[in-house]
Amino acid sequence: MTKVITWILANGATLLGLVQAIIKAVKELLTGVVNLISLFIPQAQANKIVEAVRGALNKIDEWIEVGKGYLIKT
Query: What residue ranges do the domains of the chain occupy?
Result: 2-73
Tell me which residue of 5, 1, 16 sits closest to 74, measured CA to CA.
5
- For the entire predicted model, the pTM comes to 0.76
Length of the chain: 74
**What angle in degrees, to the nearest 10, is found between the helix axes of 2-37 and 43-73?**
170
> Per residue in 5-59, pLDDT tens?
888 777 888 889 999 999 999 999 988 998 888 888 888 888 898 899 899 999 9
